[in-house]
Amino acid sequence: MEIQEKLKELRDLIEYHRRKYYLDDAPEITDFEFDRLYRELEDLERLHPELDDPNSPTKRVGGTVAEKFDKYRHTVPLKSLRDVFSMDELQQFLADTEGNGQYTVEPKIDGLSVALQYENGRFINGATRGDGTVGEDVSDNLRTVRSIPMSIPYKGRLIVRGEVYMPRSSFEKLNAEREENGEALFANPRNAAAGSLRQLDSSITAKRGLDILIFNLQDCDRSFETHSDTLDFIRDQGFPTVNYRIETDFAGISSQIEAIDVSREALPFDIDGAVIKINDLERRTELGENTNTPKWAVAYKYPPEQKKTKLLDIVCQIGRTGVLTPNAVLEPVKLAGTTVSRATLHNIDNIHSKDIRIGDTVVVQKAGEIIPEVVMTVTDDDHAKREIYRMPTSCPVCGEAVVRFEGEAKTQCTNVACPAQIRRRIEHFASKDCMDIDGMGPSAVAALLDAGLIGSYTDLYTLKTEDVASLERFGEKSATNLIDSIERSKTAGLARLIFALGIPNIGEKAAKSLATAFLDLEKLFDADIETLTAIDDFGQITAAAVVNFFSHEQTRKIVDALKQAGVEMTLEQNEDQDKRFAGMTFVLTGTLPTLKRAEASEIIERFGGKTASSVSKKTTYVLAGDEAGSKLDKAKALGITIIDEATFMEMTK
């Protein structure tokens, strides 16, 4: 037998057994026999590199390292779904659509949406959803997902859409490994899946145990009558597909939604709802689509799962700005697919309003399916005997007195040299929206702190390439790249620097306002409440936070050190700069066709305007996109001028 034929035979055989194992749950050979076939293919490919095939089963271990992902324009847009949160909303959807008697009901997988393209029976490429029109080409990483077939029986053009997810077992294993290595934990399986699929090194993706379920046929050069027909066809091609039920009325649909909800805990993956779609494809075409959502489908979102457990203790965690956040230490409980032993209590006002006391039985849920929180306490006969919780009067880490500003719920350690704040402050300082130091993520910060090379973010500017290269997680090239990025950050600009300092209550927008108002960081040391409250959107609380921050001797030392390092601390204003939007306030609502909100806001600010989160009589324009909500209604009621993206872009020419 010729080598080329032998290679094809081995690849087809391995692909066959992959399908029997992953899709049919009916393996015909042992793991040992499968590994033997795999090794035989590896050896043969090693001897004949000229016959390399990017879709070979051996490519599933990864190994390709990209500098960045190429952009990928979807031939068929990957639209999102409109959410409904009640049975009344669901009934309205059914009344509006009249789906010719049939709807499919499917679980809504909580993962990362991707499109997979095949031609002549072979996997060509795959991309993330991105903004629905343009995503990222992550083909090499998708090849490592073993349940994605690299070849299929159908030889025509085919594009399918699916949800890449991380099974709960893989998520728990990954977080256990990261905890052991001192790395930051992933918040939930969805975040872990997204982070894993977007690794530049595909061999890392291969180790993360990702899986996929296909839920839609995007494009195909053969026709179908129903959505269920397409799912059956897709499964016949070797894809794992979502389970579906066909229902004909509200009673059947609502019953199936409840059945999926009941089964959530037994599933190996997270779901956050059920998807209801018209089954008849011709009826879908008649109904059409909105700009970003189809009219023929909705996602019914489940309320957060709640569980009861015992509150063992309350401990305070110190954030990067020194805020003390009380956290509940709980008897471990299984919640939304993960074991929860801690939950946020937000602040002391929340604790007192809910009368939460150590020793109580409490109800916990995951806010937005991510962060565990205590919803309420379940009072019993002993509740009144338990002590009312009080916040500490000094920082649990540095011992400095903590303060609570008038009118605020948060308690804060204002010592900028507090060790508990150092790591988080450095991470914030180096982050993309601040000084944008590439390569200075949580693991790099931890490694530099552990080695004693830095003790604050000012020390970043004293690092030497040889010191960084000597660390276990760095090499000569990565160390050089990091030092170069640190050097570039010196010219990040005054607004980014102010935001990077981590001043309480000062976000990205407020930092830009301070930079524009003062033009020089040094002037903030002399700023008073009256001057600061004269700035738009600056109230007494924000102004007091700025004054307090710049009154500390430690802040003086930090700024002097940054100045000594050569960090740019002034803002040069161009007198000829176009300020056509000066004095105007824009409110953004809905989804714009091509611009993200952050991009539109940046354009507005560049031309001297500002954005606000709510509509008032002071609003100049409301920039409205698809599915604009109550802000649009209020603008109409107040007679505010409403513009679309096309009009807005004309205004910027």
Indicate which residues carry an active-site annotation. Answer: 108
Which phi and psi angles does 412 have, rounded to 5°? Answer: -140, 140
The residue whose two tokens read 């007494």 is 540
Nearest to 40 by CA among 3, 85, 89, 82: 3
The residue whose two tokens read 């602040």 is 347
CA distances 21 to 14, 26, 29, 238, 530, Å, are 10, 6, 9, 11, 71
User: What's the length of the chain?
Assistant: 653
Beta strands in 394-459 (DSSP E): 402-403, 411-413
Chain centroid to Cα 70, Å, comes to 20
Nearest to 274 by CA among 293, 289, 259, 294: 259
CA distances 237 to 151, 153, 231, 575, 635, Å, are 9, 6, 10, 64, 51
Three-state SS for 374?
strand
Beta-bridged to residue 116, according to DSSP, are 126, 160
Which pair of structure tokens corresponds to residue 152?
A: 């299929």
Identify the burial level of 148 via C-beta atoms within 10 angstroms of its C-beta, where 0-12 means exposed, 13-18 middle and 19 or more buried: buried
Instruction: Write down the number of H helices and E strands in the chain.
Output: 23, 22
Which pair of structure tokens corresponds to residue 52?
A: 């390399």
CB 336, CB 368: distance < 8 Å? no
Beta strands in 82-157 (DSSP E): 82-84, 103-109, 112-119, 122-128, 134-136
CB 193, CB 164: distance < 8 Å? yes
Long-range pairs, 374-382, Cβ under 8 A, ≥24: 374/311, 374/328, 374/343, 374/344, 374/345, 375/306, 377/311, 378/308, 379/355
- Angle at 546 (CA atoms; ends 545, 552), nearest 5 degrees: 95
Q: Within 10 Å of residue 587's Cβ, how many Cβ atoms?
A: 23
- In angstroms, rounded to a whole number, what is the distance separating the alpha carbons of residues 502 and 492? 15
CA distances 278 to 121, 178, 253, 577, Å, are 29, 43, 12, 53
CA distances 579 to 214, 585, 642, Å, are 49, 13, 21
CB 637, CB 630: distance < 8 Å? no
Beta-bridged to residue 280, according to DSSP, are 226
